[in-house]
A and B are shown apart, each in its own frame.
Chain A
Amino acid sequence: DTGVSQNPRHKITKRGQNVTFRCDPISEHNRLYWYRQTLGQGPEFLTYFQNEAQLEKSRLLSDRFSAERPKGSFSTLEIQRTEQGDSAMYLCASSPQTGVKETQYFGPGTRLLVL
């Protein structure tokens, strides 16, 4: 399968713990995006990278959220000191183009439950 992959698919953690999610984009896609989706809502943009550069991070929900893409390939999203309100689906997408015309391809998501 050459699509976007995300690991783990499910994560249950206790409040206050740190969690890290991984996203592997489609090979040679230079842009990578993170979204969050809560129940009944559409995906909400968090941040994105072009290669290893994080070009937009103002939409990260708090300073507990951080993302990296150190070599311009896979990316990680970390949430520190998790709260129950962080329970959601975290989606990753990648795209090959730049500019106005841009198709993003999504992974299956990581579902986080904070107890």
Chain B
Amino acid sequence: DAKTTQPPSMDCAEGRAANLPCNHSTISGNEYVYWYRQIHSQGPQYIIHGLKNNETNEMASLIITEDRKSSTLILPHATLRDTAVYYCIALRTGNQFYFGTGTSLTVIP
């Protein structure tokens, strides 16, 4: 069973913030939340990860709820190059990531 739930697709206007939600209600206390994205025909690209606190880097911000059952990835100013499939990962069996099917984000000009 998938341990994360993401909407299959989202649209966002260019220049606006893209907010991508993820539910991970069964996450365990020591599991990190990772976000990757995959642009068509390329390998997945690491974006950000976090445990409890909100995180920000040059690519995005990650907001994790206090109960850690969900998180939101924020791309503050979406560009056309942000069009990709975004994967939220909160289940790692051993050292293997479980990707699920992700959210296909389309940035619209």
Contacts and interface: CB of A to CB of B under 8 A. Distances in A.
Prevailing SS type, chain B contact patch: loop
Contacts of A40: 101
A55 B96 CA distance: 11
Contact of A43 (B45, B92, B97): B97
Interface in A42-64: 42-45, 48, 55-56, 59
B45 A102 contact: no
A64 to B, nearest CB: 20
Nearest to B102: A42
A109 interface: yes
B96 A109 contact: no
B2 to A, nearest CB: 10
A83 B30 CA distance: 40
Interface string B44-75: 11100101000000000000000000000000
Contact of B34 (A33, A56, A103): A103
B44 A56 contact: no
Contacts of A42: 85, 87, 99-102
Contacts of A55: 94-95
A111 B42 CA distance: 10
Contacts of A106: 36, 43-46
B95 A31 contact: yes
Given A56-B94, A100-B31, A107 B43 contact: yes
A103 B94 contact: no
Interface in A80-105: 91, 93, 100-105
A2 interface: no
B83 to A, nearest CB: 16
B32 A101 contact: yes
B44 A91 contact: yes
Contact of B95 (A43, A102, A109, A111): A102
Given A103-B34, A103-B49, A108 B95 contact: no
Interface of B: 30-32, 34, 36, 41-46, 49, 51, 85, 87, 92, 94-102
